[in-house]
Structure 1
Amino acid sequence: MAHRLAETAEILKEFSVLFFAMRRVAALPWTAVEEELQNSRSPGFISELLAQTCLHPLCQKFPPSVRYRRLFLSELIKRQEAAGCDPLDELYDALAEVVGAEESSESFRSYRLPCGAFVSLLENAALISVGTTGLVTWEAALYLAEWALDHPQLFAGRTVLELGSGVGMSGISICRSCSPRRFVFSDCHPAVLQKLRQNVRLNGLGSDSRPAVRVDQLDWTTATGEELRAIGADAVVAADVVFDPDLTGSLVQLLSKLLQRPSTEAQPLVLICSTIRNPQTYGGFKLQLEKAGLGHEVMSEPERGMKEGNRSLQTLEVSDEDSSPPSSGKFFHLLVLPLFP
């Protein structure tokens, strides 16, 4: 009996995590739901599932898109009917509510941290909006968050600068779970900065919070060494910033400036998670690193499961070849996520 209850609780938890992150409805563990319904023949499980998804307080505060909730509830009704369970009024009431609701160009995705808390982000429905890809959470941001959560000691007590923060997934996760002293989010596109500031506030972060945070506009092509030194970052993170060959040179120059410190100062930890969509673009980035005197070595992948799918991940440790070895701290990690067809 206790084993069955534990299995049911695990199914409910998994559905909750996937539902709020708006994972593909077809990819949810429906087989487990069917087995549960066939074993119990009771609408009680459906009530519990609704309480952990569409009727959960988080859904009232930060709801997934209307379309997503409609697809989810329609699939749940189909599975319930196939199992021969009695109709459940609250299930059909929930569907009726979203069928008549107006669609929006933006909605919330909420990602569950290992501590059980959620990072909730307002994102655009379209992958590209107002000329930018920065208004949605990309897979590399989830990997970066996972890696950071596996290594919180690397960020504890540090001032962290994030490059290309987008909607804020990686940075907010680090702020919530890794105890940095200060965190500086940055991006360049005005619409992204506006959404980023909104998400930072939604998650209870600000200049008076712990850690203290701020959102800066940072243009890689014009940022000076003096401007970067003024930030005072002793850790730098970025996710999915290697996608445009026209920007890789500026990124490498920026990284070089960040690593240029007096011999009396420790080099910052720099961690970049990059999805390989175009091998030529990634190859060009590595070539630029080589020209700048930055080397790398493969590291380990994160252990946690905030990402979707089972993709291969490499971590590269990059260091200034003209400086002392990585053990002295003059290095940064490059997480590489190949996307296979």
Structure 2
Amino acid sequence: MLSDHSDIEENGGPSNRRSASPISEASDEGFFGLDDLLPEPESPLPAPYSFSTYELPADLELGTIRSRQLILRLVGSHPLWGHHLWNTARVFSTYLLRNPPLIKGRKVLELGAGAGLPSIVCTLGGSKQVVITDYPDTNLVENMRFNVDVNVAGDLRGNVDVVGHLWGHDVKHLMTRTENEGYDLLILSDLVFNHSQHDALIKTVNSTLSHKPDACILVFFTSHRPHLVKEDNAFFPRLAESGDGWVYQKVVEEWAGAMFEEDPGDVKVRGTVHGWKAWRVKDGEEPGQLNTIP
């Protein structure tokens, strides 16, 4: 059985991917532009796939979920870090399972999904429709489809779709899947570290979330670079000022352990997952942060 927090190479050998974070090695200034998001050309011998698992918490009833263990295949290597199952995604998935009204019977869109774990959990937890997206790269998209096929039974398979999407670009292919009504819940897991893409991400959020009173987005992240915490958190006031205005509120602060033990900076910062819920301003509300955890 695969370890809950393991990355196991397809050929059976242990992975050494906990030694250094690709995020920590990236330039701090501006981080990525769109040109930087283009995947590197494939090598003649691409890195092998690895596998990781997510275990449903023991205190959660399985309900219609058929297995307590989900198996996620990860691309062998990728400049967008789809080759990791991030601790944030684990915490995020558990939060979703513990809060079924957020997902049951709802239309869900995940942006920058990587392995797609939170989306798969939503599908198994009873979401009416789930659309899983990441950068429109063949390896990433096909790997997400593989994970859906492995973990989602045939009777639920019709409720989930996998497509590519580049933040800030045309969302017609996403909106047509909802008959242009938009999604009830948007999932953003470990995305805000990409500071130069905040505006593009916010544009997609404003373009795809429905205008139903209970529609919201969930933004979970870990500050893997402690000296850039302020830049990570800058996403939220920028979101609040966009569109018709947004309110955001912290819903989770949980220690999950540092992904990469040898990275620099405060390990407590690098190992803490922060979860935020945000929604469009309602009557009587002002854009900005609510200071209480519900």
TM-score where L is the length of structure 2: 0.66
Correspondence for 1:111: 54
Which residue identity is paired with 2:69? F
CA contact (8 A) 2:104 2:128 kept: yes
1:4-60 CA distances to partner (integer Å, 9 max, x unpaired)? xxxxxxxxxxxx67x25317xxxxxxxxxxxxxxxxxxxxxxxxxxxxxxxxxxxxx
What are the residue-to-residue correspondences of 1:268-279 with 2, within 5 Å? 268-276=215-223, 277=225, 278-279=228-229
Alignment of 1:3-152 (within 5 A): 19-22=3-6, 66-68=12-14, 105-114=48-57, 115=62, 117-126=68-77, 129=78, 131-152=79-100
Amino acid at match of 2:283: S
Give the unaligned 5+ runs of structure 1: 1-15, 24-61, 70-103, 334-341
Partner of 1:13: none
Return the letter of the residue paired with 1:316. Answer: W
Question: Cα gap change, 1:161/1:331 in structure 2, threshold over 3 Å: closer, same or farther?
Answer: farther
Question: Is the CA contact 1:270–1:332 (under 8 Å) kept in the aligned structure 2?
Answer: no
Give identity over the alignment, percent. Answer: 21
Matched, 1:298 2:245: no
Unpaired runs of at least 5, structure 2: 16-46, 259-267
Matched, 1:231 2:181: no
Q: Does 1:185 align with 2:132?
A: yes
Alpha-carbon separation, structure 2, partners of 1:284 and 1:331 = 12
Determine the C-alpha separation between the residues in 2 that align with 1:281 and 1:247. Answer: 12
Distance 1:210 1:291, change over 3 A: same
In structure 2, the partner of 1:257 is: 207
Distance 1:121 1:245, change over 3 A: same
Aligned to 1:220: 167
| SS of 1:209 mapped into structure 2 | helix
- Structure 1 residue 320 displacement after superposition: 2.6
Cα gap change, 1:270 to 1:318, in 2 (>3 Å):
closer
Deviations 1:205-252 (A, max 9, x none): 56x52562110112222124x554433222221211112122110111
Contact 1:268 1:331 in 2 (8 A): no
- Alignment map for 1:323-334 (pairs within 5 Å): 323-324=282-283
Contact 1:135 1:195 in 2 (8 A): no
1:253-307: CA deviations, max 9, x gaps? Answer: 222223463xxx44523212122233243143134223312232232447xx9x5
Instruction: Determine the structure 2 residue equivalent to 1:198.
Output: 146
Whether the aligned pair in 2 keeps the contact of 1:135 and 1:192 (CA below 8 Å) is no
Deviation at 1:196, TM superposition (A): 0.8
Residues 106 and 123, structure 1, Cα contact 8 Å, conserved in 2 = yes
Relative to 1, partners in 2 of residues 1:214 and 1:317: Cα closer, same or farther, differing over 3 Å? closer
Is the contact between residue 185 and residue 214 of structure 1 (CA under 8 Å) also seen in structure 2? Answer: yes
- Alignment-mate amino acid for residue 107 of structure 2: T
CA distance in 2 between partners of 1:112 and 1:165 (Å): 18
- C-alpha contact 1:167 1:195 (8 A) present in aligned 2: yes
- Asked if the contact 2:132/2:162 (under 8 Å) is kept, the reply is yes
Aligned counterpart, 2:234: 284
Query: Given the superposition, is the C-alpha separation of residues 214 and 260 from structure 1 closer, same or farther in structure 2, using an over 3 Å criterion?
Result: closer
1:119 and 1:223, CA in 2 relative to 1: closer, same or farther beyond 3 A?
A: same
Contact in 1 for aligned 2:136/2:166 (Cα 8 Å)? no
Higher helix residue share? 1
Q: Aligned residue for 1:171?
A: 119
